[in-house]
Amino acid sequence: MASPSLDSPKLCQDIFSILESQFLFGTSPVRKASPRPTSPAGKVCILSIDGGADDLGAASLVRLESSLRRLSGDPSTTISHFFDLAIGSGSGALLASLLFANNLSASDASVLLRQISLEKSKTRTRFGRLFKKENKTLEKVFGEATLKDASKPLLITCYDLNTGAPFVFSRADAVEADGFDFKIRDVCEAALCQRKGSKEVKSMDGETRIRVLDAGANTNPTAVGITHVMHNKQEFPFVNGLEDVFVFSIGGSGTRLSNAASIAGTCQADAVDQAVAMAFGESRKSNYVRIQGNRISAGSTPENILSETCVESVLFQGKRLMKEMNEERLEWAAGELLKEQHRRLQSKIPPVFVKSAMTPRTSSSSAMTLTTILTGSSESPRYC
């Protein structure tokens, strides 16, 4: 009988499992555990958007939302209806906030994302820095809304220069105390700051001050989102393993490797992707989706990247090209999200118990509607 190939991913995974078991539990015989069934409550769906993935992220979510509307037959459904938690870094944090704090459609969020990015680029000129003001569109979009006003769990990652450590803005923490509640517009403004600049963000009670530096243009926050879900038993009580989560992660185009910082950020994002794929093991094929450029076609637009052959991380073997394209992967993900929604309708157990704010702020209603912002109408503004 022919021996298995040493290049077999299955063989590599078996060897890794044996070594891991002996290292953690001694040299006792290793028994292969049977696959654990998923929670009867269903899977918790996580949306993760890398920093620097604004263009590809918006294009991917517009395509995903279009597929969800077509498959469900509901033209009004949005991305936030199908995900239980959103996490973003840098410009990905802004996109996640537009979807989960304002419950916008992906197409409307994409329009606002370009408008905010354009305003931000103007402040980088010498004249713009001289008369630097807060981003007006951010102020109009989010108003006085804070993290605890988000409709669903929302996480934003950054780097705090005051403590010299990563920091995560979290809706779950904001609900618990004003010392961890921040204005969404301030957090997003800070997340978009330049590498050479920073912005101080104060909590609602003024007791917590974070000197925010964007953690990197291509930072991958997926692992942070998974960790939050695994350890937040109050909101996600039925998540006991990676079998109980579905992760949809969007990376960068992979073509902007123009300097050392971009290369370092891309390497860090890929390292997180590799670690997450290894953690999922065989279930990565059904529970983990990563959309990113394959770095073969330089200068591709986001729409072209969706037509590229997608890549996946392989255990101990880096990345490899798959047979399907990114747009086909998006269509498959839409089907899986829709299946999860149908499963929830048949289950009496909700998979998520979102913490409710004890004293909701009425001031959050000052966030203006998309129509007023984009058209600049002179009519009296309508409020969310």
- Residue pair 363/146 in contact (Cβ under 8 Å)? The answer is no
Q: Is 356 helix (H, G, I), strand (E, B) or coil?
A: coil
H/E run at residue 250: strand 245-250
Tell me which of 39, 48, 89, 97 is the catalytic residue: 89
In DSSP terms, 212 is beta-bridged to 160, 199
Which two tokens mark 381?
């503004």
Which amino acid is located at 367 in the chain?
A
**CA distances to 111, 169, 234 from 340, in Å:** 29, 28, 21
Instruction: Count CB neighbours of 198 within 10 A.
Output: 19
- Residue pair 211/162 in contact (Cβ under 8 Å)? The answer is yes
- Measured N-to-C along each axis, helices 106-122 and 91-100 cross at an angle, to the nearest 10 degrees, of 140
Instruction: Classify residue 29 by burial, with Cβ atoms within 10 Å: 0-12, 13-18, 19+.
Output: exposed
Q: What's the CA gap between 119 and 127, in Å, rounded?
A: 13
Is 89 part of the annotated catalytic residue set? yes
Q: Where are the beta strands (DSSP E) in 265-338?
A: 288-291, 309-313, 319-325
| Upper half-sphere CA count for residue 247 (Cβ side, 13 Å) | 31
**CA distances to 21, 164, 251, 305 from 255, in Å:** 40, 30, 11, 10
- Residue pair 69/44 in contact (Cβ under 8 Å)? The answer is no
**Active site residues per annotation:** 89
